[in-house]
Amino acid sequence: MSLLVTGSIGIDTVEAPAGKVENVLGGSSIYFAYAASFFSPVRLVGVVGDDCPPDFLAPLRANPKIDLAGLEVRPGSKTFRWHGRYHADVNDRDTVGVELNVLAERGPAIPEQFRDSRYVFLANTHPALQMQLLDQLKAPALVVADTMDLWINSQRDALLTLLRRLDGLVLNDSEAKLLTGEPNVVAAGMKVASIVKKFVVVKKGEHGSLLFTEGKVSAMPSYPTCNVIDPTGAGDSFAGAMMGHIAAVGKFDAATLRRAAAYGSVTASIELEDFSLNKLVRTSRGEIDQRMKQFEELTAF
Amino acid sequence: MSLLVTGSIGIDTVEAPAGKVENVLGGSSIYFAYAASFFSPVRLVGVVGDDCPPDFLAPLRANPKIDLAGLEVRPGSKTFRWHGRYHADVNDRDTVGVELNVLAERGPAIPEQFRDSRYVFLANTHPALQMQLLDQLKAPALVVADTMDLWINSQRDALLTLLRRLDGLVLNDSEAKLLTGEPNVVAAGMKVASIVKKFVVVKKGEHGSLLFTEGKVSAMPSYPTCNVIDPTGAGDSFAGAMMGHIAAVGKFDAATLRRAAAYGSVTASIELEDFSLNKLVRTSRGEIDQRMKQFEELTAF
């Protein structure tokens, strides 16, 4: 089934204990789309400036499962840039610099041929913009969004209006607590789940995720790995694989959502083994399925 | 099979968002023994001072599965006391006061009729004392210990000597990182596992646990709950249920250890729903099995 993602495209600089990369491909929609493409065709909507090098999106152009008809190159604008620095414990990072550039302007339009998309992921951006994107869709079957602390703090009303129209929300544990004022992450997730229509996934990074749906809470560990080079994009890869699996099977009951989250965990654990998309472009669906099988065996009790 | 625990018995004062209790029963061996008793008979070795009220251990005396023949009441000594205060987020706590008292004296002796114990848990104390206790056992099949940052920092050599004689070690994620200098918890756990004979369980509190055995790493979430009144003793209850299950089935292969850790998670999630042993004494094995079934259903993918 047709899967659409809207989100950022960025020129990233990343410093980590394993090394440093400058001006590499990043952004939520990039990681999401590449991860989703292992499971389902995916349509990307995003905008860059005319400073974006022509071959910058080559890994996506080379992937026949990713449709870039929604990519806008905006003349006179500059591409979003992000510079992050990870600590010795790569679960902690500092943002060294961020230039919103084109992300601070009007959002991209969803092309006519994408407006019939049935599965939709609105990656993190201003909730009013997420709403505008949602309004351009004809009859989505499942609309899921991501958000962040910035919008929870500064755009709470717009965010709450958006949440009531969503089928699903993906957010971090600290964001769930911030949004609800609940110090317990399970209570926080339950409260958010009472606002959206179907489900909430609370991501806890290396500690896994919690799924709230059908009045129940499911817990899942992360696929355990010690080969963490660069966690940038792990959360977006999680969401991409999750939505890709959902779109592929065309269901979103509790059991399907758990399996989707497991694929998310496994795909994210591969993504973070190198900078940018470097590991994902070297990965096959067979390798994902192999790690998924290990994950099943090593979590069963 | 015979299960023995050696560890602390304490007079606890606990402040938490849900309330405050003063001078209640606590200590690692207490929580361990009660949790283990749902699965297996358990022998307790510990020492209190003569300030300990006569009915203080009444919940354990009322439990026919717990053998208190190894309880020493030492004349002229005072019982260990601990006073903790939990934050609004009960995953954080401060130690308000601690009086080692009898724990700073010589350790208890293991009674002759306990020396044939096959399954042994040496709860956290000075590693040299854990070694003395171990030396009193005739032919244990599985010896597992707990430790803490204090000994890692101050008694590293004694601790490493002990570790080499252990079949298993249970410790927190921060302790595994401290012991090995590895910032990644998976790498840290693997390094500790290379020192002990069979397995390491790294406890991550609300985030679950990691099991390192047979060259592999298994991840498990905690049973998700929002009803957290007092986490004191949750780690010891985890270890108690885990060892109780192992002793009951008489095996410790990887699959058994995973199931044992799952029982640990479930039993700990019940224990923390009230202060001291208050919730465990109201719990039946049937209720543990019911929650275990939910845990299996809600983690399967």
- Measured in angstroms, the CA of B261 and the nearest CA of chain A are apart by 9
Q: Percent of chain A at pLDDT above 90? A: 97
pLDDT tens by residue, A197-230: 999 999 999 999 999 999 999 999 999 999 999 9
Query: Is A83 strand, coil or helix?
Result: strand
Averaged over B137-164, what is the pLDDT?
96
The candidate with the shortest Cα–Cα distance to B9, out of B217, B247, B236, is B236
Q: Do A183 and B90 touch (CB under 8 A)?
A: yes
pLDDT value at position B163? 98
Cβ neighbours for A18, distance < 8 A, ≥ 6 positions apart: A229, A230
- Token reading at B238: 């985890």
Helix B285-299 and helix B254-271, axial crossing angle in degrees, nearest 10: 110
Does the pLDDT at position B292 exceed 80?
Answer: yes
Q: Percent of chain B at pLDDT above 90? A: 97
Which phi and psi (to 5°) does residue B86 adopt? Answer: -90, 150
- Within 8 A of A193 by CB-CB distance, chain B residues are none
Query: Is B197 strand, coil or helix?
Result: coil
pLDDT tens by residue, B182-234: 999 999 999 999 999 999 999 999 999 999 999 999 999 999 999 999 999 99
Nearest CB to B299 within list A218, A222, A226: A218
Write out the DSSP string of A138-174: S--SEEEEE--HHHHHH-HHHHHHHHHH-SEEEEEHH
Averaged over A39-67, what is the pLDDT?
97
Whole-prediction pTM: 0.94
**Beta bridge pairs of residue A253:** none
Q: Do A222 and B219 touch (CB under 8 A)?
A: yes
Q: Which of A174, A177, A184, A209 to mutate to test the interface with B (most CBs of B within 10 A)?
A: A184
First-to-last alpha carbon distance for chain A, in angstroms, is 34
The DSSP element (H or E) to which B286 belongs, if any, is helix B285-299
Q: Do B225 and A186 touch (CB under 8 A)?
A: yes
- Token reading at A253: 């009951």
The DSSP element (H or E) to which A102 belongs, if any, is none
Q: Do A186 and B216 touch (CB under 8 A)?
A: no
- Token reading at B247: 């002793």
DSSP label at residue A7: -
Query: Is A301 strand, coil or helix?
Result: coil
The DSSP element (H or E) to which A122 belongs, if any, is strand A119-122
Averaged over A236-253, what is the pLDDT?
98
Furthest-apart CA atoms within chain B: distance in Å = 57
Going edge to edge, which strands form the sheet with A93-99?
Answer: A19-26, A10-16, A80-86, A93-99
- Within 8 A of A206 by CB-CB distance, chain B residues are 185
Looking at residue B96, its amino acid is: V
- Within 8 A of B299 by CB-CB distance, chain A residues are 218-220, 258, 299
- Token reading at B174: 């921060």
- Token reading at A120: 């939709």
Does the pLDDT at position B70 exceed 80?
Answer: yes
Query: Is B23 strand, coil or helix?
Result: strand
**Beta bridge pairs of residue A217:** A212
Nearest CB to A226 within list B187, B218, B220: B187
pLDDT value at position B55? 93
pLDDT tens by residue, B120-145: 999 998 999 999 999 999 999 999 99
> Under a CB-based contact definition with an 8 Å cutoff, are residues B270 and B280 in contact?
yes
Ranges of beta strands (E only) in B159-251 are 168-172, 199-203, 209-213, 216-220
> Under a CB-based contact definition with an 8 Å cutoff, are residues B176 and B163 in contact?
no
Nearest CB to B219 within list A187, A218, A299: A299
Does the pLDDT at position B91 exceed 90?
Answer: no
Could you tell me how far CA B73 lies from the centroid of its own chain?
22
Q: How confident is the model at residue B54 (pLDDT cuts 50, 70, 90)?
A: confident
Q: Do B208 and A228 touch (CB under 8 A)?
A: no
The ipTM (two decimal places) reads: 0.90
Q: How confident is the model at residue B171 (pLDDT cuts 50, 70, 90)?
A: very high
Q: Which residue of B has its CA nearest to A223?
A: B219
Q: How confident is the model at residue A89 (pLDDT cuts 50, 70, 90)?
A: confident
The candidate with the shortest Cα–Cα distance to A234, out of A204, A257, A260, is A204
> Under a CB-based contact definition with an 8 Å cutoff, are residues B236 and B31 in contact?
yes
Q: Do B298 and A261 touch (CB under 8 A)?
A: no
Average predicted confidence (pLDDT) for chain B: 96
pLDDT value at position B27? 96
- Within 8 A of A228 by CB-CB distance, chain B residues are 184
- How many A×B Cβ pairs under 8 Å? 91
Q: Do A225 and B88 touch (CB under 8 A)?
A: no
Q: Do B224 and A219 touch (CB under 8 A)?
A: yes
Averaged over B16-37, what is the pLDDT?
97
Q: Do B301 and A255 touch (CB under 8 A)?
A: yes
The candidate with the shortest Cα–Cα distance to B204, out of A48, A125, A279, A219, is A219
Nearest CB to B210 within list A88, A185, A224: A224
> Under a CB-based contact definition with an 8 Å cutoff, are residues B120 and B48 in contact?
no
pLDDT value at position B147? 94
Does the pLDDT at position A91 exceed 90?
Answer: no
Count Cα atoms within 13 angstroms, Cβ side, for B117.
33
Q: Percent of chain A at pLDDT above 70? A: 100
Nearest CB to B219 within list A218, A221, A228: A221
pLDDT value at position B89? 87
- Token reading at B267: 């039993």
- Using CA atoms, how far residue A254 sits from A68, A117, A259, B11, B194, in Å, is 31, 22, 9, 45, 39
pLDDT tens by residue, A9-19: 999 999 999 99
pLDDT tens by residue, B257-280: 999 999 999 999 999 999 999 999
Q: Do B221 and A222 touch (CB under 8 A)?
A: no
Radius of gyration of chain A (CA): 18
- Measured in angstroms, the CA of B219 and the nearest CA of chain A are apart by 6
Q: Percent of chain B at pLDDT above 70? A: 100
> Under a CB-based contact definition with an 8 Å cutoff, are residues A208 and A176 in contact?
no
- Token reading at B263: 């029982």
Q: Do A208 and B204 touch (CB under 8 A)?
A: no
Going edge to edge, which strands form the sheet with B209-213?
Answer: B66-74, B42-49, B3-6, B119-122, B142-146, B168-172, B199-203, B209-213, B216-220
Query: Is A10 strand, coil or helix?
Result: strand
Report d(CA B283, CA B286) in Å as an integer: 8
Taking the CA atoms of residue B21, residue B25, residue B31 and residue B37 in that order, the dihedral angle to the nearest 10 degrees is -120
Looking at residue B238, its amino acid is: F
> Under a CB-based contact definition with an 8 Å cutoff, are residues A208 and B208 in contact?
yes
pLDDT tens by residue, A103-131: 999 999 999 999 999 999 999 989 999 99
- Within 8 A of A89 by CB-CB distance, chain B residues are 183-184
Report d(CA A239, CA A261) in Å as an integer: 8
The DSSP element (H or E) to which B51 belongs, if any, is none
Q: Do B186 and A258 touch (CB under 8 A)?
A: no
